[in-house]
Structures are given as structure tokens and as C-alpha cells.
């Protein structure tokens, strides 16, 4: 791997941002998702939640757990997550495949409610976010 100030040249000889290193999952995220506009409300809600879970951790940690998060949070459908109750919070706190922080779990549930409210007022979460 060749390093420049802000870029690295990957094993496939493609230049990438230095932060993705050579981890296959990080490289795939960099190449296929990072800095690409997202217009789907469920995908945006997922991003909001995962960013919350990432606080204090590396993004790679979250990427490695993303499929587990998707399963645990029922595909990040806010219409489903908004119905989560204390029993669900307790289930998630015991789920070793995700970040088991009660405050972050409760924030994801709260963000489902906020997402639905934004959708009601603005038509979609994407319309609201991309309106700035």
C-alpha cells in the first residue's frame, strides 16, 4: 500500500481515502456507499441510528456489526422500531452481536418516533434532510 497525504493506493491499485485502510469491509463501504446521497427513508434512519451507536467507537466496529443491527432492529423500519417496548430494550441489551448501550438503544427507538413525525410533516425524512 502506498501512502500519500490524504490517499492510499489499495491492493487493487485504486486510490482511496487514507481512513479506509485495507480492511475489505471498509474498502467496500468506501467504494460503494461513502459520500453517496441516500434518498430512502429507511436507509437514512439506519444511518442516523448507526451513527449514534458509533459514538465513542470506530466506524469499522459498527460496519462489522451492521447486519446484526439490521436484524436486531427489524431492518430499521421506523414503523416497527417505534413499537419497541422495555422488553425489546432488555432483549437488545443482551444481544452480544450489537453495541449493548441502553442509552443508544433507547435513542434509536426515539429516533424512530422522530422519523415518523418528520415524515408526517415533510412527506419524507429524505425531503427534510436534503432540504438543508
Q: How many CA atoms lie within 13 A of 76 on its CB side?
A: 19
Strands 2-3 and 7-9: antiparallel
Side-chain-side CA neighbours of residue 70 (13 Å)? 10
| Cα-Cα-Cα-Cα dihedral sign, residues 54, 96, 113, 118 | positive
Question: Which residues are designated catalytic?
Answer: 29, 51, 59
Amino acid at each position: 500500500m502506498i501512502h500519500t497525504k490524504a490517499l492510499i493506493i489499495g491492493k487493487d491499485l485504486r486510490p482511496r481515502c487514507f481512513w479506509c485502510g485495507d480492511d475489505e469491509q471498509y474498502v467496500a463501504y468506501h467504494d460503494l456507499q461513502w459520500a453517496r446521497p441516500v434518498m430512502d427513508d429507511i436507509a437514512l434512519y439506519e444511518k442516523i441510528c448507526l451513527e449514534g451507536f458509533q459514538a465513542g467507537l470506530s466506524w469499522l466496529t459498527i460496519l462489522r456489526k451492521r447486519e446484526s443491527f439490521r436484524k436486531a432492529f427489524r431492518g430499521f423500519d421506523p414503523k416497527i422500531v417505534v413499537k419497541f417496548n422495555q422488553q425489546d430494550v432488555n432483549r437488545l441489551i443482551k444481544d452480544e452481536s450489537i453495541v449493548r448501550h441502553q442509552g443508544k438503544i433507547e435513542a434509536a427507538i426515539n429516533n424512530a418516533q422522530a422519523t415518523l413525525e418528520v415524515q408526517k410533516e415533510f412527506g419524507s425524512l429524505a425531503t427534510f434532510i436534503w432540504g438543508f
